[in-house]
Amino acid sequence: MIREQYYDTCTMHAPALRCALDTLGPEQLVFGSDYPHVPGGIDRFVDILNSVGMSGEELEMVGRRNALELIGVEDTTTVGEER
């Protein structure tokens, strides 16, 4: 199923990310990568993603599955397998 719009999670402000999750739902969000280009940026961004109270399933959707579906790539990993 193709959804109408997806939104990038590129924010370093946890309340803004929480608002996006509450408003749009994790189904409409994809992991954003504009900011973490600075040293240590990706770690900080992941910490923010982890701080907003998403379940493991929601983190999987935002961090991987939504993007794969959007670009039409099948996820060939299995549960517990390293990526």
| In the chain, where the domains are located | 7-71
φ, ψ dihedrals at 44, nearest 5°:
-65, -45
Across the chain, mean pLDDT equals: 82
Q: Residue 28 in contact with residue 17, Cβ under 8 Å?
A: no
The tens digit of pLDDT for each residue in 4-35 reads 788 888 888 899 999 999 999 999 999 876 65
Q: What is the pTM of this model?
A: 0.73
Question: ∠4-57-24 over CA atoms, to 5°?
Answer: 30
